[in-house]
Amino acid sequence: MKPVAFSYEFPQDLEHAARLVDEFSATPVAGCQSLGPMLNLRLARPEVLADISNLEELRRVEETSDLVRYGAGVTHAEIEDGEVPDPTDGWLQTVAAEIAHRAVRNRGTLGGSLCHADPAADW
């Protein structure tokens, strides 16, 4: 099955993405590892998708002496590959390496997985 027709937008920053959500009820999408199958099965029928995968604000990682804050756009592969700080002495990398297969980890994002929270996901 194929998804219904929709508009695909590329917001330039978070403010633009928020406007698309506010004005057009746009559905934010980054890795599309959860939404993609739902679109194909027509379980989701958004009129507008806002591709937030390249928004730098969502890809930042902030580290202080007592915490690490990961942006929603950080991919599972970036965690697995050690491209972001891991205060767990390698546990985050180990867990990330077990998520689905590499193609999914390359695109799947931390924020998308947490927001979708599918109990049947490849966690």
Q: What does pLDDT average to over the chain?
A: 93
Tens digit of pLDDT for each residue in 33-78?
A: 888 888 999 999 999 999 999 999 999 999 999 999 999 999 999 9
All structural domains of the chain, each given as residue ranges with its CATH number in brackets, are 1-55 (3.30.43.10), 60-116 (3.30.465.10)
Concatenated DSSP letters for 45-98?
--SEEEE-TT-HHHH-EEE-SS-EEE-TT-BHHHHHTT-S--TTTTHHHHHHHT
Residue type at position 48? V
Mean pLDDT of the 99-113 span: 92
